[in-house]
Amino acid sequence: MTHAEMSEVYELYALGVLEPEAAAEIDQHLRDGCEHCERHVADAMGLVAAMASLAEPESPRAQVRERILGVVKPQRQRPTRNWMYAAAALAAACAALIIFSVSSRSELRHMRERLAALTEERDQLRSAVQILSRPDTRAVGFGRAGNAPHGRVLVNRNGGFVFVGSQLPELGSNQTFELWLVPASGAAPQPAGLFRPNAQGDSVHVSSAAVDARTTKAVAVSVEPSQGSNAPTTTPILVVPLA
Amino acid sequence: MHADDSADSRIIEQLRNRDPNGIAAAYDRYGRSAYALFVRITHDRAAAEDLLQELFLRLWDRGVKFDSSKGALGVWILSIARNLAIDHVRSAQTRFSSRLRSMEHLESLCFGDHPSGRESRITDVRSIQEAFAALSADEKRVMELAYFEGFSQSEIAANIQEPLGTVKSRVRSALGRLRVALGGNKKP
């Protein structure tokens, strides 16, 4: 294609509807460093992105913002002019916390358990972000809105997988959910972790088990006794095909 | 530089510094647009919230590499959002082979080596809405199928049972008019 011909298709390229051969030619042209086309493709990307405003206005629930901001944490702190005040305030808060905690052993135990749970949740979410950020991670959705279980399974061949579920059914006190990797070979499902959702039926579970989508047919979830099982003892409530 | 551009530049600097305020600011600026896009494409509010979380965690992960002089934050967010949503729908509808660009390819297009200055277009909502409203019904239909459904021109032709040439003509005409509405030349 000449530049004149390319100028006719920048928006088609940005929209993703250009024929694959022509798109590949522009890809290569951009890789070769044509600044003229880079500028015009950037313009076209802007135009296409602006089309998002054609969607009817919608607002997510406030909890979504809290959930997202609860995961992201600063990795490096920069000292500020007010750090001494902050440190003093922190020390005062710690002292108050200690006094409060010591005043009640049961409160202290409860807070420790809560801290351990939050720490575990934080570590899980960090691992989830790492898996999510890998370029070869695949996402597979399951279920639909409403009261039925739904969510996503994010699979990485080397880095494990993440199970994100919502509206999961309530468990008995002596039960747990168990994840299974179902081999394509027809062999027995392999256990891949236990989890219990929160009171709202939501759960994010990260497994370090390597999942090769070529040899693993599906990820399944079944209800098992609280200590887990070596093989499913109930019919899975979810089977998410990876193919 | 447009005032909105400087807001994006500030957010990018915060993301580069791993400052969570950058995610909060980006969410407040683009979260509703992205969510509306997710709902429009998936027709599923629960899935839209999951995708919104996935989008901003991805932004948090990638933002440290962004360069405010080389890219457009809003374009990145809404382009990735569209890809995520269409990919989500297609993963549930195996009748489509995935023809979407990879996320990495899309990201390189949004934050490549080209100069920035495109953010203002994202905020030029009224212009594109007015231009879209002025399109013919046939042009609107093909653009909706292309943008929200991620259909190729061949898939659009099959869907509306019109010749491929007619579809191509409508898509080009519609894009040309939208381009003019956003201040571009009719042909660059």
- The pLDDT of residue B187: 47
Query: Quick check: B82 and A60 CB within 8 A?
Result: no
Please provide residue A83's backbone torsions phi and psi, each rounded to the nearest 5 degrees: -65, -30
pLDDT for A96 beyond 70 = no
What is the least distance, in Å, from the CA of A99 to any CA of chain B? 31
Chain B hits for A20, Cβ within 8 Å: 99
Q: What is the helix (H) or strand (E) element at residue A195, kind and residue range?
A: strand A190-195
* pLDDT, tens digit, 9 for 90 and up, residues A10-58: 889 999 888 888 888 988 888 888 888 888 888 888 889 999 999 999 9
Chain B hits for A124, Cβ within 8 Å: none
* Residue A35 burial by Cβ neighbours in a 10 Å radius (0-12, 13-18, 19+): exposed
For A164, the token pair is: 């994100």
Candidates A42, A47, A61; nearest CB to B182: A47
Chain B hits for A68, Cβ within 8 Å: 23, 27, 52-53, 56-57
For A145, the token pair is: 């809105």
pLDDT for B27 beyond 90 = yes
Query: Quick check: A64 and B52 CB within 8 A?
Result: yes
Reduce the DSSP state of residue A198 to 3 states and report it. Answer: coil
Which residue's structure tokens are 């046939």? B138
Chain B hits for A15, Cβ within 8 Å: 146-147, 171, 175
Query: Quick check: A58 and B48 CB within 8 A?
Result: yes
Q: Name which residue leads in pLDDT, A159 or B138.
A: B138
Query: Quick check: A47 and B184 CB within 8 A?
Result: yes
Share of chain A above pLDDT 90, in %: 12
Candidates A45, A50, A128; nearest CB to B110: A45
Domains and CATH numbers, chain B: 1-123 (1.10.1740.10), 125-188 (1.10.10.10)
Mean of per-residue pLDDT scores for chain A: 80
In three state form, how does the secondary structure of chain B look? CCHHHHHHHHHHHHHHCCCHHHHHHHHHHHHHHHHHHHHHHHCCHHHHHHHHHHHHHHHHHHHHHCCCCCCCHHHHHHHHHHHHHHHHHHHHCCCCCCCCCCHHHHHHHHCCCCCCCCHHHHHCHHHHHHHHHCCCHHHHHHHHHHHCCCCCHHHHHHHHCCCHHHHHHHHHHHHHHHHHHCCCCCCC
